[in-house]
Amino acid sequence: MILLNTLGVLQSFDKNYRQTLFGLYKVWFVLAQAKTPMPAPLFKRFVEIGRVVLVNYGPDQGKLCVIVDVIDHNRVLVDGPSDVTGVPRSAIKMRYLSLTDFKIDIARGARLKKLKKEFEKAQVLKKWEGTSWAKKLAMRKKKASLNDFDRFSSMVAKKRRSYAVKTNLRKLKKAYNKDTNTNKKPKKAIPWYLNQ
């Protein structure tokens, strides 16, 4: 009796399995016929050896460094190179780093000499300074270093610029409206008591 029940379960499982496989085949066949392009990958930056990263926290905050080795899923070994970016070889937690688009071709655990050579060959610092991310960080750093008079001067300059833009825009609108209104016939005034 138990043997028969077991065989019945196995037969029904086999039937369901075949139906599932046939369904998957039909889906694959439809997609292949439609020739739909594959979706773009979700992530483009990965934690990998040679990936250039930005330090977000700690004494090296705001500096670039390169992942030299992955210690575990929480920490990586990074190196500046220390004489170029100022980040010594050390273990840093992943949550203190931001991955950039740049990657250099180095082997796992590369020495400082090889790392520096590849870093300069790839012109990482030059490419980094051209990104909007680096420009935004530089502006934020400059704004934080302003004193009270510099902040006041900046505010006055913004007000003057805004006033100049508004006055010129008003003049252009006035000239445009004047040109468009000359071609139209004047509207006849309708008394309020007839406009009901």
Question: In the chain, what are the domain boundaries?
Answer: 51-129
pTM of the entire predicted model: 0.62
- CB contact at 8 A, 119 and 104: yes
Fold for 51-129, please state it.
SH3 type barrels. (2.30.30)
Q: 10 Å Cβ neighbour count for 79?
A: 24
Kindly tell me the sign of the dihedral angle through the C-alpha atoms of 90, 50, 119, 140. Answer: negative
DSSP-based helix, strand, coil % in the chain, nearest 5: 50, 15, 35
DSSP 8-state secondary structure symbol assigned to residue 74: S
The residue type at 80: G
The pLDDT of 98-103, averaged and rounded, is: 94
The pLDDT of 166-182, averaged and rounded, is: 86
Q: Is the pLDDT of residue 14 over 60?
A: no
CA dist 85 and 42 (Å) reads 31
| Angle formed at CA 189 by CA 185 and CA 191, multiple of 5 degrees | 160
The predicted-structure confidence for 34-82, as pLDDT tens digits, reads as follows 566 667 778 888 999 999 999 999 999 999 999 999 999 999 999 989 8
The predicted-structure confidence for 118-136, as pLDDT tens digits, reads as follows 999 999 999 999 999 999 9
